[in-house]
A and B are shown apart, each in its own frame.
Chain A
């Protein structure tokens, strides 16, 4: 069966520090991969999605970036975090377009 792993679960970072969140999927090949941010009490905002290695689409201009160095690995990065980057970050995968998305457990990021 397929599983998705996301880490770390929680992270506290100072303003201006770098960020690297990692997501891996097991049990499937060539999944679509997604990064979302969820602000407190709000919906899910799509940040990036990828349909293959090295293919990244960005939905919202910001100081975040994403990379897909391997088929089942998706990384969310920032060179310098802002206070507004605080939130709950969720990684998700699906087998193809118009198919159910399956979410990781999320990373709660607090910027001080």
Chain B
């Protein structure tokens, strides 16, 4: 089955700096890659996603890039704010199944 690895597991940045989280996947058949933000004790919420026919997608301060050849995708958050502090999960989807990374705990220091 698919294997998704996510790095780093923890990340601290100063407010206003950028944060980058990287994921790799193993199965080239994966065709959909969502990113979720989970605040403590709450449900994961979709923040951005990308499909395999697109290389980059941006939504305000958040962007995702996908390199199908290398089988990796990354989340970029610019101008970070304290409210960006949370755990972020990447995922890869094949058919009806989703495979999640182990999460990155992001702390934005005011």
Contact = CB atoms under 8 A, between A and B. Distances in A.
Interface of A: 32, 34, 36, 41-46, 49, 51, 57, 59, 90, 97-106, 108
A46 B98 contact: yes
A98 B51 contact: yes
Interface residues of B, number: 25
B70 to A, nearest CB: 21
Given A34-B98, A101-B98, A44 B44 contact: yes
A59 B99 CA distance: 11
A49 B49 CA distance: 21
A45 B89 CA distance: 12
Interface of B: 6, 31-32, 34, 36, 41-46, 49, 51, 89, 91, 93, 95-103
Main secondary structure, interface of B, reads: strand
Given A103-B44, A105-B42, A105-B43, A44 B100 contact: yes
B93 A42 contact: no
Contacts of B45: 103
7 contacts: A44-B44, A46-B97, A46-B100, A104-B43, A105-B42, A105-B43, A106-B43
Contacts of A106: 42-43
A59 B101 CA distance: 16
Contacts of B93: 97-98
Contact of B103 (A42, A99, A108): A42
Given A97-B93, A98-B51, A103 B43 contact: yes
